[in-house]
């Protein structure tokens, strides 16, 4: 959630370089064969299939988006997320960057279209000064996201109807071009006397919610967390689609990787 209360625009550096990974049984993230074409991989476990988008370099490692679906018939999505290899937290850029990650095509109902991953080495106002990642999960097309703005657009301040707003979420002033307006959780630790380690942000534009955004500090990731956090729900949903009941932040040592996921996806009809 870069530039949360600032009314200046930080340029997004959209990384377009992609590398491929071999679809090995253990799904290890690898930076081998950097000149190969992009590949989507599939991993199977009992009752589920997980499909991976192309890997993208970050730090000394890589990251990729994924969708987990029900393998027993209809292919409904169960979770969406991102994996970062362990070395991704090493040698991160000293300047803010933004990277687009593609979800596998035609998987999980195509509700989630892409991710925008922001790396904020210096943090931002008001309570998010620690180095952290912003993981934006969008359900509008990338082209539509790129058309958001300019910085002074009055469309940032058009609010969704009240029934679509989760209780105790508040929109901060203004918005960020090519991203949207941001809503903060007033019950999160950073607003109740605690410390920002991870938090859940919502995003809107022109009166429509368009993304969900876990924000997570690198310091918290490096503690090797294993957390599942329930998500409060609004009374109704604008767009028909698959919405999470919880999100998770986890580390695995075999192979070494970090995973951030929206889980327990439930279908809601839009109103």
Q: How would you write the pLDDT of the chain (271 residues) with one tens digit per residue? A: 544 433 233 333 223 323 333 343 333 344 332 322 344 565 666 688 999 999 999 999 999 999 999 887 678 999 999 999 999 999 999 999 999 999 998 888 889 999 999 999 998 877 899 999 999 999 999 999 999 999 999 999 999 999 999 999 999 999 999 999 999 999 999 999 999 999 999 999 999 999 999 999 999 999 999 999 999 999 999 999 999 999 999 999 988 999 999 999 999 999 8
What is the count of structural domains for the chain? 1
| Residue 6 resides in a domain | no
pLDDT value of residue 43: 61
Are 3 and 124 contacting, i.e. CB atoms less than 8 angstroms apart? yes
Tokens at residue 241, please? Answer: 């689609």
Are 94 and 137 contacting, i.e. CB atoms less than 8 angstroms apart? no
| Residue 3 resides in a domain | no
| Residue 55 resides in a domain | yes
| Residue 4 resides in a domain | no
- 31 DSSP β-pair partners: none
| Residue 80 resides in a domain | yes
pLDDT value of residue 110: 87
Are 213 and 201 contacting, i.e. CB atoms less than 8 angstroms apart? yes
Distance CA 172, CA 189 (A): 17
| Residue 9 resides in a domain | no
pLDDT value of residue 260: 98
Q: Which of 142-145's residues contact partners 24+ apart within 8 Å by CB, and which partners?
A: 142/100, 142/113, 142/114, 145/114, 145/116, 145/178, 145/179, 145/180, 145/210
- Name the residue with tokens 């605690």: 194
What pLDDT, in 10s, does the model give residues 94-120?
A: 999 999 999 998 888 889 999 999 999
Distance CA 244, CA 169 (A): 16
- Residue 163 Cα distances to 107, 193, 213, 232, 239, angstroms: 29, 28, 20, 13, 13
First to last CA, the chain: 27
Instruction: Name, in order, each residue with C-beta under 8 angstroms of 143's C-beta and a sequence gap of 6 or more.
Output: none
Residue range(s) defining the domain that contains residue 203: 14-268
pTM of the predicted model as reported, rounded to 2 decimal places = 0.85
pLDDT value of residue 75: 84
| Residue 8 resides in a domain | no
DSSP strand E in 169-240: where?
169-171, 181-185, 198-205, 208-217, 226-230
Tokens at residue 189, please? Answer: 């630790």
Distance CA 237, CA 217 (A): 29
pLDDT value of residue 71: 83
pLDDT value of residue 18: 30
């Amino acid at each position: 959630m870069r530039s949360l209360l600032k009314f200046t625009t930080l340029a997004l550096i959209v990384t377009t370089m992609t590398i491929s990974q071999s679809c090995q049984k253990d799904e290890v993230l690898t930076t081998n064969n950097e000149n190969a074409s992009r590949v989507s991989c599939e991993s199977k476990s009992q009752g589920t299939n997980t499909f991976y988008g192309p890997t993208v370099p970050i730090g000394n490692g890589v990251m990729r988006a994924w969708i987990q679906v029900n393998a027993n018939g209809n292919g409904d999505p169960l979770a969406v997320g991102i994996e970062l290899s362990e070395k991704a937290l090493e040698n991160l850029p000293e300047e803010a960057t933004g990277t687009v990650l593609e979800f596998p095509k035609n998987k999980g109902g195509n509700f989630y279209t892409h991710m925008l991953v922001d790396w904020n080495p210096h943090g931002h106002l008001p309570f998010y000064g620690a180095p952290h990642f912003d993981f934006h999960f969008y359900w509008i097309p990338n082209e539509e996201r790129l058309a958001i703005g300019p910085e002074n657009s009055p469309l940032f301040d058009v609010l969704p109807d009240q029934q679509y707003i989760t209780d105790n979420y508040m929109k901060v002033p203004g918005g960020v071009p090519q991203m949207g307006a941001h809503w903060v959780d007033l019950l999160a630790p950073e607003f109740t006397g605690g410390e920002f380690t991870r938090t859940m942000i919502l995003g809107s534009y022109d009166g429509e919610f368009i993304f969900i955004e876990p924000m997570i500090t690198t310091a918290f990731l490096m503690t090797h967390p294993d957390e599942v956090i329930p998500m409060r729900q609004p009374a109704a949903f604008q767009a028909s689609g698959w919405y999470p009941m919880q999100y998770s932040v986890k580390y695995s040592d075999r192979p070494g990787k970090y995973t951030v996921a929206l889980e327990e996806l439930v279908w809601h009809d839009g109103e």
